[in-house]
Every structure is written in C-alpha cells, then in structure tokens.
Structure 1
C-alpha cells in the first residue's frame, strides 16, 4: 500500500482494482477498499502499459463532490467506464473519435445532457409511473408463479433465484416501458448480457473463459450494433404509430428543432433497456440473499410490510450494482489533499463510497432500518439515475408478491458474483423455500 507522501497504487494493489475477477470475492474487495480509503482516499493507480493511469476515489464525500460538480469533472472527454488503451483506440476507430461506444445520457455533458434528459424526465417521475403499477404487479405475479412452480425437493422448493426471478422480471418491465414485444425479450436479454456481462464467461455467452480485453470489446461492439439495428426498426414503427410508451417519446422527440440522430437515439434506447434491467436485477438478488441469510428479518418483513422501503433502499446501497464511473478533470484542482491535473482521469468508486464507515455505521451489515441512508448507488447531481423511482417501485411490488407466497427462506448453496468492474451483482443465488398456505 502506498504511503500518504506517495499516493500511488501499483503492482498487485493496482491489479486488484482493475481485474474483474477480484470483484467476485466481495468481502476481500471491501477489505481492500477500506485499506485504500483509510490510507489514501484519493490515490493514483499506475498498473502497466496496457492501461492509462487514473485516480481512484474511495471516500463518500469526494465521490459526492465529483458527482455534483459537472463543470469541473466531465463525462465525455474520455471513456465514462474503465477500459484499456487498445479497447479505447478500437472504440474511437469505429465511432469517429468518440471515446464512448454508446452515446447515451451517462456519456454526455452540458449543454447537451440536460436537453436530452428533459425529453423523458417527466415520464419517469412517480406521478406518471404510478399509472403502471397494475401492469407491473401482473408481471411480478407471473414471475413469482415461476418460482412457486419450481421443482420440489425433500418437501421444500429449491431454485436459482437469478435466472428464474431477478433477471427476467426487470427485463419484462423495461421492455414493456419501451414497447418491445414479449417475443423479442430473450433477444434483448442476450444482448444486455453481452454488453454488461462481457467480463464474465457465464454471462457473456461466449463460452470463452479467458477472453482478452480486445475480444471482450468486440463482443460488446457486436451487441451494440444489434441493439442499434433493432431500435432503428422500432423507431420507424413508433414514428408511424406512436403509443404511450417511452420509446414513442424518444422516437418523436426533437432537440433544437430536430429529431435525435440515429446514434443518439440508439444510445437513449440502450441505456434505458440495458441499465434499467441489470441494475434492478442485481439489487433484487442482493435483497433476496440478505433475507435468506437472516430468517428473523425475513419474518419481520412478512409481518410488517412498512419495512419494505427500508429493505429496498438498503439492498440498493449494499449491492451497489453500478460499481464505478470515470470522470475527466476539466482543469487543475485539488481533491482529498491531492493535486489533480487538467485532463486527469478519475474512477469514482460507488462501492467504496457506499461502504464508507464515516457515513454508514457498520457498512457491511444489511440493515433495513438504516436511517438516514443517503447512498450513492443512483449517483447524485445532474447525472442521478433517471429510473430510480421505477427501480424502487419494481422492487417493492415484486417483494410484496414474494412475501405473500413464500413462508420460509434460506440459502441452498453459495451465491456467486459476476466478474465485472462496471455493473456487478450475483449471477447465481440458490435458495430453498416453503410456500405460504
């Protein structure tokens, strides 16, 4: 570990932050972030010639400052997610110089970002999405029915919660929001897994256990191209026959008097389709794992549904599905006692910030009564997650249905996390449960 006088991580310490395989062992990862935050909360990571150096930011206050200061810390000059030099060059070669493969809301700065965000912001407000509660509840019931119908063993039911419940449910919801036919949902799931599961051989569907970064990037590029082709066709349909879904809003929206470009429109669809699925899936699985490990908390929740909002909020903090974003310094500044130069690249670690003991007492404990719970899993400031109200509503509805149908809950095996530095969560969650009479 580097000293305060020389705040540099290199060798194994740097590799631990960069290597997606190290994100599987959650406790070991949190141990490392605790050490870094305590010694050098803003530290330079210098690993090898393959990756550009960057500043790792691990304290809650520093991550919050960066998140809210969108003039000083920019999204678009460099990639908004961590990548190696070769992958970055490859992306630029196919985008005409843009460092971000997908030109979505998360990769835009002012003045473009607020104009684009306003197009759908009202659509995702609680007043509007509350009108979808009955439809989402119907999807939740169908999802829970699958769990109830799972195979019996020794008088109790067993299932892998992730592929059976937490992965398909938010996908159903977001596809309904976008107006995508149910017949196309499996294709959307496959493409989403290729985009965000690229670092994990079980999720990227490649069958390759040791893909190089270049191979991973080519896989992601192919998925993005398929997404763009699909949504280009959807745009034609929504312009010809608009409905009340958000896809129609995007397809017919105008900024400064003109429709969005094909690339910008595809980026808008992709961020809603992909981010709205994987993040909620991870939080849902995280909540279920916590409840399976704590039968008393599960029983209290069954008896008192007023505890549900706390369960949902804590699951989102505790899981932190979006594990980092990158920012670029617009000018020389100082952060956490370190001098940051113009154009320096910074990784804001939401995992580390959401487990900062200065803000969250006993941060590794899953505490549904935690208050306040000002976590950063949705980001903060102008780039705060557009779909945060939808995610909370989806989870509350699903868990209400689960609690109505399930009497007891426990783990049936060891849960396994995905290999990923960006969007992470459980890829398997074996549970054993009994049904309410």
Structure 2
C-alpha cells in the first residue's frame, strides 16, 4: 500500500446489513442474505452470477414516497438510471412521469403503452429521427439544448402539424460539489444554454419566434449525487431572474420550472442521503420564495429523480473465483463479473459496500479489494473493503446500491455477456431483463 493511502477502518460487524445502504427488505436468514424474501443462494442457483437483483417493494415504495412528497408537482423518473419495460409498468402503476434521453429509451416506454403525455424528452444531440418519433407519439415536453435543435424541432413540428411543449435547458453556472464527470451546470460542458453568456436568453427569443413551438418553462440540472438543497436554491434564483427578464422583454410568464434531479443516495456507511419529504418541502419553499421575491407567480415544479428511486433497491451478486493475498498490502478477491457490469468505480471512483452474502462468518476482517475478471488493472468493483478471512472460492458476495447506472452502463468488454436483472418480491423472483448469451454476442457479426 502506498504511504499516502490510508485503509478504511474495518466494520465492527462484517455480517451486518446496514438498513441505510441495502434494500428495504434485506435481512439475513440462516446466515445468508435475503432480499424480497428470496435467499441469494437460490438466486445464484436459479439464475447464475453475476446477477442484478432488484427489490420491487423497495423501488415501488420510493416511487410512492416521491409521489406523496411532491403532491401538486410533477415527478418524472430519470430513465437513464435504469430502464426496462417492467420499470415503466411500475411507473405507470404508481402515477409517475418519465424522462427519456434517447430514441431507444422512448421506444421502451412506448412499447408498453406508457402515456406519452407523461414523457419528457432530453438529450444534447437529438436526431431528426428521435425528434420525429417524439412528435409523432405526442410526448409531453421536449427540453431543447441548442440553437440547432430549436430550428430542427421547429421545422419538424411545422411539417408534421404538431405544436410541442418546449422547455429550455439552462446552464446556470452553479458549481455542484460532485465528481467532474457528473457536474452539469457549469459553462464548460456539453449540456444546456448558458445563462451567463446570454445564450439561454437568445434561445428564448428563438423559440418564441416559432409559432409551431409552445415555450412553457425552463429546465436546470446541476449534477448528480447531490445531498443538500443549497445548489438548487442558487440555481432557482438565477432561473427566476431569467423568468423576470423574459416577462419584461416578451410579456410572457412561463408556467413551469424543472429543477432536474441528481439527489444522492448512501453507498457506504456515513454517506448522507436526503429525506424525500424534507427535500420536497425545501425545493417548494425555495421556488416559492424566489418567485415571490421576483414578483412572479409560482410556476408548477417538476423534479427528475432517478438514482434515489432505483439505486438503493438494487444489488449485484457475484461468485468468488480466486482469493489472492498480496503480502503486506491486501487480499484481491476476484469475481465472475467486474467493469462490464459495474464500470462506475473505474469511470469516476464510485464507492460501494460489499458483504459475504452466502453465509455468516466469525473470522477476523481481511482488508480486501473486490476486482473483476477483465484484462484491466483498473477493473475494480470495490476499492477498499473487508471480508472475513475465511472467504473462499465458491462463496457469494453482494454489492449494495447498484440499482442505478450499473445495468444502464453495462458493456461487453472481453465479450462478457450482460447479466440478467431479476425482480424479487414476496419470496418470489422473476427475470425482468434476460441475461445475454454467447449467441447474443455473436449475433450481427458477419
């Protein structure tokens, strides 16, 4: 270990399933981790590993939490966190809206009859085909991200005889305290139109000049894994200033304000996660205050949670293949997946909690690094963790809080098939996304 690195302290109980980090139905039964009333040993036997496991009751309860906390506002699930047909069905059941960021995500929603008026289309480079599909479906909102897109959407709307509701994505210049790759409100990045440089105001002029487009509001997203409302307050104040300028220049009062999402979850012990009701009350108070201060009617608020709905309810299950002790440093625990099913650690240093899942152990803690089977030294799932010293090949380990962005970012590096996604509830498990096979990997090759 390098001198400047300091290993984390070993947890007092290696067998503990911390309720703030693991799915709401998680417990240990006869020593083994169970989720949704299903033993992970049975999941591994029936569906293989690696395996994404999603606690349906957890995810649905968080959808209901948001719907209740933000009653009177609009809650649109950010599909990029994880999207499949079954998730869309849950959203429909629980009364939430949906944000999509590509034609493929839109196709998933439409394939199961999700109401298009509850869909918002995002993206910094929407193609003609994607915008045409959105207009044809009659989506509720299109969030425009560039001058080119305004012209493109206006042309298509006129040609197709549609008048879509449009929001302008505004780069507010708020510095979110998060990783560079998931901070999205500073000027030097690809998303949005700058408030400070005047391009957002110019976008307003261009949209209002096109009668085939209906400008209804402004959109802002300051980043991801945000745990307090401070940044949202600054963004809301800057957006309110633009709303006043729009009213003064154009005589138009925009009725909607979308503050995006990006709310954080707990990945490791000590992480903070916002209380949803407190978050809702805080955001409503912020929007109300800044609009009253600016002499504006309070617009209808929209939020876009993704990670906080689906992240905590997901785990990934692996089988241990090798346990390699590097004397004086740590033990490397290699599993049958890795950066193909969870690239977040390699991409931006994400941290996770992991436990021995197939049994309990009273063995002393062993400083470990959970790694995958790919030909990359950066193929790390959990950089610093502790397992019992009797961990052995064939044991099952689980990684918590993997419901968001892991399956969405999954890849086929080294030709590993993407794992299945299994939903568990009431002691039963069912596949909601089929795992890939080698035939899937070869399909399409000539």
The structure whose residues are more often strand, as a share, is: 2
TM-score (norm 2): 0.27
Question: Which structure has the bigger radius of gyration?
Answer: 2
The structure whose residues are more often helix, as a share, is: 1
Higher relative contact order, structure no. (Cα contacts within 8 Å, ≥ 6 residues apart):
1
TM-score (norm 1): 0.28
